[in-house]
Amino acid sequence: MRETREWTAFLTLAAAAVSSVFITALIVVVLLHESGSFFRAPEVSGQIWRFFVDTTWAPTSDPPRIGILPLVSATIMTTLIALVVALPIGTVVALYLSEFAPFALRETIKPSLELLSAVPTVVYGYFALTFVSPILRWLIPGLPQANMLSAGIVMGIMIIPYVSSLSEDAMRAVPMLLREGSYALGANRLMTAWKVVVPSALSGIGAAYILGISRAIGETMIVAVAAGMQPRFTFNPTAQAQTITAYIVSMSQGETPHGTMGYQSIFAAGLVLFVMTLAFNVLGFWLRRRYHQTY
């Protein structure tokens, strides 16, 4: 009787643990399978190299142009703009909350900051389009309403709590003993924070950055609404351009028949997105192991 109960518990828990691995594997299989049909399509198969070098993305036109670079360039640009906003602000906020803010203030700021990540991203998208973009257009004449700059900036605001919250946890995990060692030598708070706490928390801060980057690459609604819908190979932040995720959204609006070039191109684009985020997660994993410090 007890044996059976033990086994039931074991199997239930094991199934729960395995399911996430199984689902991930399934997603990869579907991605590979469907993008396989894209690359085997007669219009594509002879010129797969174009996928990586062609600067025009129009898979549904005749003949199709299949260069992924325009989508990749827009993804990279919006992500970079978001990081320029989120990493410095997020780090400074974390440093302030962990090392300088009085207890009561920290307990107020931290939850309200985390509330930022509870805002639906589509709201951020329209915030970018109808609030940030007009301001930028006033500052930069000739800026189109949809542009990568405003989408990137708002995406950066969205990522701040991811970066600051995790970085702050990492900084707070630095033992008081290390800070006392620095204070005992006559250092002030800023010195201690900058020279002792930040280097000690480096692996955690790095992990927070990587999470922010992955989040920015995968973000969909903000860029779909505010960055534009035309694939364009450009690194000009004031241009409008379509990211990988925005392309997937635009193609998956229910009118793309199964088995067509348009349908299969979604998966090819999805595979590229998957490889990009995977690369960052692997980098993050490696960073954590490389710089991890146990106390």
Binding footprint of other proteins on the chain (CB under 8 A): 175, 177-178, 180-188, 191, 195-196, 199-200, 202, 293
Smallest gap from Cβ 86 to other proteins, in A, equals: 25
Q: Which is nearer to other proteins, 99 or 219 (CB)?
A: 99
Q: Looking at beta carbons only, is 40 or 292 nearer to other proteins? A: 292
Whole-number minimum distance, CB 88 to other proteins, in Å?
A: 22
Nearer to other proteins among residue 108 and residue 293 (C-beta): 293
Q: How far is the CB of 57 from other proteins (least distance, A)?
A: 46
**CA atoms of 200 and 292, how far apart (whole Å):** 9
**Judged by CB, which is closer to other proteins: 144, or 175?**
175
Minimum CB–partner distance for residue 201 and other proteins (Å): 9
Closest separation in Å from C-beta 182 to other proteins:
7
Query: How far is Cα 227 from Cα 79, in angstroms, rounded to an integer?
Result: 12
Angle 262-267-268 from CA coordinates, rounded to 5°: 90
For other proteins, give the closer residue by CB, 236 or 293: 293
Q: Is the CB of 16 or the CB of 177 nearer to other proteins? A: 177
DSSP state letters, the chain: -HHHHHHHHHHHHHHHHHHHHHHHHHHHHHHHHHHHHHHHSHHHHTTTHHHHH-S-EETTSSS-EE--HHHHHHHHHHHHHHHHHHHHHHHHHHHIIIIIS-HHHHHHHHHHHHHGGGS-HHHHHHHIIIIIHHHHHHHSTT--SS-HHHHHHHHHHHHHHHHHHHHHHHHHTS-HHHHHHHHHTT--HHHIIIIIIHHHTHHHHHHHHHHHHHHHHH--HHHHHHT-SS------TTS----HHHHHHHHTSS-S-TTSHHHHHHHHHHHHHHHHHHHHHHHHHHHHHHH----
Q: What angle do CA 11, 13, 15 make, to 5 degrees?
A: 65
Q: How far is the CB of 106 from other proteins (least distance, A)?
A: 14
Residue 11 or 190 with smaller CB distance to other proteins: 190
Torsion of CA 45, 48, 51, 56, to 10 degrees: -60
Nearer to other proteins, 182 or 250 (CB): 182
